[in-house]
């Protein structure tokens, strides 16, 4: 058992929780809690740390998960004291288990075909449905976009390089496991990727914008589609908005001028999902 908060591994885990640079350099990120541990593919697990109290209060199913992890030669498993768990955790009230997970690398092709797609699969995606995010800064918003995006059937998410870190512990928790299943990439130039998607892959892009002439539910999204969502406070840059095929408007009553970024993404992607179900 690790009982010292000065242990080198404990200090490293605490660094992963706080610093994007440390996560990026080592190609890992953290998950906390049994719910996230159930979601992570075991081939991405690197290290697991759990308290005695956590291990003594597992359900039968969760105990089976722990035993599978313990028996895997590729995963390091350590019991730790409650003080050590508090030192490593990002949350105020730790859930008793923390894991170090390998970051997975995706590419544009993964986003275009969808996570389950192949030529022989019944889950193959007929038309891509993509979220393109520019300068989203709120971790909760970003995590929710992954979660609702998966629910709406998006094939992937493209993000600008100035975004919040997708491996921030708050983002990871908010995804509720979608981070393991929804392909995503960062790009240096959103306007360039929007143009590439249109010119090379036939993806029609719609910028969520107050200058839209058509309401979001007046457009056909059966074909290859991308929705572009901008920064919470400033919206899309002019360059990105101009690169889109068209603007789309989410009409609102009352005196509010704009919609929450994550809510906008949910409205648009679920409208596409509704149409595709029909």
Give residue limits of the domains in the chain: 8-102, 108-277
Residue 71 confidence (pLDDT):
94
Q: Do domains 8-102 and 108-277 have the same CATH topology?
A: no
Residue 91 confidence (pLDDT):
86
Give the number of other CB atoms < 10 A from CB of residue 198.
17
Residue 252 confidence (pLDDT):
82
pLDDT band for 273, please (50, 70, 90 cuts). Answer: very high
CATH number assigned to the domain with residue range 108-277, chosen from the 4 options 3.40.640.10, 3.40.1280.10, 3.40.930.10, 3.30.450.20: 3.40.1280.10
Superfamily grouping for domain 8-102: Ribosomal protein L30/S12 (3.30.1330.30)
pLDDT band for 180, please (50, 70, 90 cuts). Answer: very high
pLDDT per position as a tens digit, 29-74: 999 999 999 999 999 999 999 999 999 999 999 999 999 999 999 9
pLDDT per position as a tens digit, 216-269: 999 999 999 999 999 988 889 999 999 999 999 888 888 776 778 999 999 999
H-type helices in the chain, by residue range?
8-18, 20-26, 34-39, 52-55, 60-70, 82-88, 108-113, 139-152, 169-175, 190-201, 238-243, 261-277
Residue 118 confidence (pLDDT):
43
Residue 125 confidence (pLDDT):
55
What is the Cα–Cα distance from 100 to 263, expressed in whole angstroms? 30
pLDDT per position as a tens digit, 108-154: 999 998 754 444 444 445 699 999 999 999 999 999 999 999 999 99
Stretch (H or E) spanning 2: none
pTM over 0.85? The answer is yes
DSSP state for residue 103 in the 8-state scheme:
P
């Amino acid at each position: 058992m690790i009982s010292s908060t000065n242990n080198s591994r404990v200090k490293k885990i605490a660094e992963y929780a706080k610093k994007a640079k440390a996560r990026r350099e080592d190609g890992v990120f953290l998950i906390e809690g049994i719910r996230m541990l159930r979601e992570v593919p075991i081939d991405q697990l690197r290290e697991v740390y759990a308290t005695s109290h956590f291990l003594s209060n597992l359900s039968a199913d969760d105990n089976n998960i722990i035993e599978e992890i313990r028996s895997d030669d590729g995963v390091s498993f350590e019991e730790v004291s409650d003080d050590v768990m508090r030192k490593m955790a990002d949350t105020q009230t730790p859930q008793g288990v923390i894991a170090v997970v390998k970051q997975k690398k995706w590419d544009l092709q993964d986003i275009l075909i969808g996570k389950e797609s192949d030529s022989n699969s019944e889950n193959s995606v007929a038309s891509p449905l993509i979220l393109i995010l520019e300068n989203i800064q709120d971790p909760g918003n970003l995590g929710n976009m992954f979660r609702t995006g998966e629910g709406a059937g998006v094939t992937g998410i493209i993000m600008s390089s100035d975004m919040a870190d997708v491996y921030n512990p708050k983002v990871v928790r908010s995804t509720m496991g979608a981070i393991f299943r929804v392909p995503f990439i960062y790009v240096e130039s959103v306007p360039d990727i929007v143009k590439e998607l249109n010119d090379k892959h036939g993806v029609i892009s719609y910028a969520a914008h107050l200058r839209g002439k058509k309401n979001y539910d007046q457009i056909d999204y059966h074909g290859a589609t991308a929705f572009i969502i901008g920064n919470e406070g400033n919206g899309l840059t002019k360059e990105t908005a101009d690169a889109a095929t068209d603007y789309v408007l989410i009409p609102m009553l009352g005196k509010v001028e704009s919609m929450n970024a994550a809510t906008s993404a949910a409205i648009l992607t679920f409208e596409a999902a509704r149409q595709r179900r029909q």
